[in-house]
């Protein structure tokens, strides 16, 4: 929602030398009405939020859930905005700022095209190669694998994922899975300034529905899978599926790579409007025989705690063997999809083979089945998975490399899709030996009620199972470590890479990875050094308080 209060999210990034655009040209191109004098004025950017506004930019005021952004036009003026772009409903409100008002029909729907024009990042402009990945699970992993493999090929890369933004080697924490259109185009302009050649982007269904990737045509679009999730945003699975399909049309992408591991992949193929190839992983596919008929197949060779070895094979006989540095057959499937996307993006097969065949993919996947324990003692994995399908695949991966018992620890998001909670409990208890229910992001929902629903789903599936409940999660991980020893494993699903918990609208500092290490250390088990560097916003510093859980 539009706001005039400072954001506690990382800052929006801008190009260091933004192009200056004529406000009169903007009005001529986009406006249905102009109030005030726009002659002689220039703008250097656009934003939806006054908290992120910089002097010389236009403030785009949209209707929020409870208030219209135009109410904050005076704040925008005080911060140096040169104009207000809004709809007819906001035009009268915006006039109080005494700035030119450019009236358009639907400012949110126009934001992508407007931002592309302002920053020079539209389909006809000189911008990096763009890879966009959508699906329920695997989007973040594929995006980070794309980034890692491209870097191995010697490409200067950019990344926009749920976890991080990468710009030619610089790492910054993310705000949204897919940023708002104004932020995305500004980020793309900054990447171009810094010599980025290819960008991997995680594209959510919400990003497509809410115009966050408007003004962009991806060179290659990838589809991972579709499973139960996000029914807080969409009426049913059909609507959720339909929200993803626009990515596979000529106004959104030029080519596509589609996984056949989930049944919806076949419908994506039927309705894809751009040239495409398919990838299948029979070992995990809903229909193994159909997946085996894909243009490319992923064959699992070996699974171990250090990674998953697989062969990627084409129908024409081409193949390569490599290792993805995380456990799980589904991670091999993600890696296979990423490799084929890179090939479809125009990179040489010979170069890809020379880089990967017989070796390993060099990619860091933050919070994706990330092992935070040492070589001795129980294995502890922290994962971002928060859907029944993600639980099933990740638990199977952990089980495969664990000789002893598997403890599952998780909570559920508050104020999000509650229809999947019973299935989350069921899948978790079916795949583990001991289940521990705790809290995650309660937001404004009662955490006791969330836990009760998860336990109810688990009890229905396995009435005789050992199901424990601990709150808060700081205690839950300590109790979990007490239950395991050498050869056992804990899978802590949900928090993954995140460094906060959302409690009644406040982002409380929190790191599951660090909490797990502390619990292991307190129990006498050795722990490795945490992964560094920690991604912090470019204009901030790590907290100095040693009691604050950071990673």
Q: Transcribe 160-197 into DSSP letters.
A: E-SSEEEETTEEEE-SSSS--HHHHHHHHHHHHHTT--
Band (497; pLDDT cuts 50, 70, 90): confident
Ranges 140-149, 229-238, 327-336: which has the least confidence: 229-238
Range of the domain at 66: 21-107
Domain CATH number, residue 302: 3.40.1190.10
Q: Considering its fold, how many domains does the chain have in total?
A: 3
Kindly state the average pLDDT of the residues 74-83. 97
Same domain, 102 and 152: no
Same domain, 217 and 304: yes
Ranges 233-242, 320-329, 423-432: which has the least confidence: 233-242
Same domain, 242 and 213: yes
Residue 187 in domain: yes
Helix H or strand E encompassing 295: none
Residue 424 in domain: yes
Please state, in angstroms and rounded to a whole number, the distance separating the CA atoms of residues 341 and 355.
Answer: 16
Please state, in angstroms and rounded to a whole number, the distance separating the CA atoms of residues 280 and 288.
Answer: 8
Residue 9: predicted pLDDT: 55
Residue 367 has pLDDT above 90, yes or no: no
Residue 3: predicted pLDDT: 41
- Under 8 Å between Cβ of 277 and 317: no
Same domain, 69 and 165: no
Same domain, 392 and 346: no
Same domain, 414 and 352: no
Please state, in angstroms and rounded to a whole number, the distance separating the CA atoms of residues 520 and 531.
Answer: 16
Reported as a single tens digit per residue, the pLDDT across 81-90 is 999 999 999 9
Residue 247: predicted pLDDT: 97
335 or 304: which leads in pLDDT = 335
Residue 541 has pLDDT above 50, yes or no: no
Residue 531 has pLDDT above 70, yes or no: no
Closest C-alpha among 121, 114, 118 to residue 188: 121
- Under 8 Å between Cβ of 397 and 330: yes
Mean per-residue pLDDT of the chain: 91
Residue 469: predicted pLDDT: 98
Same domain, 263 and 322: yes
Domain boundary residue, one of 327, 356, 385:
356
Residue 415 in domain: yes
Domain CATH number, residue 407: 3.90.190.20
Band (230; pLDDT cuts 50, 70, 90): low
Residue 257 in domain: yes
Same domain, 247 and 388: no
Residue 548 has pLDDT above 60, yes or no: no
- Under 8 Å between Cβ of 147 and 197: no
Same domain, 293 and 434: no
Residue 178: predicted pLDDT: 67
Residue 254 in domain: yes
Residue 235: predicted pLDDT: 80
Domain boundary residue, one of 356, 387, 404:
356
Q: In terms of pTM, does the model score above 0.85?
A: no
Please state, in angstroms and rounded to a whole number, the distance separating the CA atoms of residues 79 and 52.
Answer: 10
Same domain, 344 and 376: no
* Residue in this structure with the two tokens 């193994």, named with its chain if needed: 288
Kindly state the average pLDDT of the residues 289-313. 96
Reported as a single tens digit per residue, the pLDDT across 31-55 is 999 999 999 999 999 999 999 899 9
Residue 149 in domain: yes
What region, left, alpha or beta, does residue 416 occupy, with left being phi > 0 and alpha being psi -120 to 50 degrees?
beta
State how far the alpha carbon of 529 is from the alpha carbons of 12, 66, 262, in Å.
Answer: 31, 46, 37
Same domain, 374 and 250: no
Please state, in angstroms and rounded to a whole number, the distance separating the CA atoms of residues 155 and 97.
Answer: 46
**For 212-238, what is the HEC assignment?**
CCCCCCECEEEECCCCCCCCCCCCCHH
Residue 20: predicted pLDDT: 95
Band (30; pLDDT cuts 50, 70, 90): very high
Same domain, 156 and 283: yes
Residue 245: predicted pLDDT: 96
Domain boundary residue, one of 42, 77, 107:
107
Reported as a single tens digit per residue, the pLDDT across 167-216 is 998 988 765 556 899 999 999 999 999 999 999 999 999 899 999 999 99
Domain CATH number, residue 44: 3.40.1390.10
């Amino acid at each position: 929602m539009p706001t005039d209060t400072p954001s506690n999210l990382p800052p929006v990034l801008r190009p260091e030398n933004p192009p200056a655009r004529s406000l009169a040209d903007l009005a001529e191109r986009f406006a249905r009405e102009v109030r005030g004098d726009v002659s002689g004025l220039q703008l250097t950017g656009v934003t939806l939020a006054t908290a992120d506004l910089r002097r010389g930019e236009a403030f785009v005021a949209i209707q929020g859930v409870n208030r219209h952004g135009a109410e904050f036009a005076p704040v925008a003026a005080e911060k140096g905005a040169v104009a207000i772009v809004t709809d007819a409903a906001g035009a009268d409100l915006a006039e109080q700022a005494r700035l030119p008002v450019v009236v358009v029909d639907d400012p949110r729907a126009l934001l992508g095209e407007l931002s592309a024009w302002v920053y020079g990042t539209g389909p006809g402009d000189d911008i990096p190669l763009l890879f966009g990945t959508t699906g329920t699970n695997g989007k973040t992993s594929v995006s980070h694998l794309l980034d890692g493999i491209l870097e191995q090929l010697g490409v200067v890369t950019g990344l926009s994922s749920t976890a991080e933004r990468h710009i030619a080697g610089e790492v910054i924490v993310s705000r949204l899975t897919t940023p708002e259109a104004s932020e995305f185009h500004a980020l793309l302009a900054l990447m171009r300034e810094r010599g980025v050649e290819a960008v991997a982007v995680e594209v959510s269904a919400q990003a497509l529905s809410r115009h966050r990737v408007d003004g962009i045509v991806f060179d290659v679009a990838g589809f991972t899978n579709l499973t139960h999730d996000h029914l807080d945003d969409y009426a049913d699975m059909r609507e959720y599926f339909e929200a993803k399909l626009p990515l596979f049309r000529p106004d959104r992408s030029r080519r596509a790579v589609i996984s056949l591991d989930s049944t919806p992949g076949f419908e994506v193929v039927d309705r894809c409007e751009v040239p495409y190839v398919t990838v299948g992983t029979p070992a995990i596919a809903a229909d193994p025989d159909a997946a085996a008929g894909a243009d490319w197949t992923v064959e699992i060779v070996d699974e171990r705690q250090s990674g998953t070895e697989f062969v990627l094979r084409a129908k024409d006989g081409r193949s390569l063997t490599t290792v993805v540095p995380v456990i799980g057959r589904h991670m091999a499937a993600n890696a296979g999809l990423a490799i084929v996307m890179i090939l479809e993006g125009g990179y040489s097969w010979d170069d890809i083979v020379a880089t990967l065949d017989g070796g390993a993919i060099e990619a860091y996947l933050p919070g994706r089945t990330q092992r935070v324990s040492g070589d001795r003692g129980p294995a502890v994995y922290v994962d971002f998975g928060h859907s029944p399908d993600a639980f099933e695949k990740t638990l199977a991966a952990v089980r495969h490399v664990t000789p002893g018992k598997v403890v599952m620890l998780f909570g559920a998001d508050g104020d999000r899709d509650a229809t999947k909670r019973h299935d989350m409990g069921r899948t978790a208890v079916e795949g583990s030996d001991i289940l521990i229910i705790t809290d995650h992001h309660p937001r404004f929902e009662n955490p006791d009620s969330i836990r009760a629903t998860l336990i109810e789903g688990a009890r229905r599936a396995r009435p005789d199972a050992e199901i424990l409940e601990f709150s808060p999660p700081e205690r839950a991980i300590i109790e979990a470590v007490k239950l395991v020893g050498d050869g056992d494993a804990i899978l802590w699903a949900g928090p993954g890479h995140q460094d906060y918990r959302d409690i009644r609208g406040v982002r409380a500092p929190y790191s599951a990875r660090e909490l797990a290490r502390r619990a292991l250390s307190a129990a006498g088990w050795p722990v490795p050094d945490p992964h560094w560097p920690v991604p912090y916003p470019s204009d901030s510093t790590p907290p100095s308080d040693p009691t604050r859980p950071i990673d």
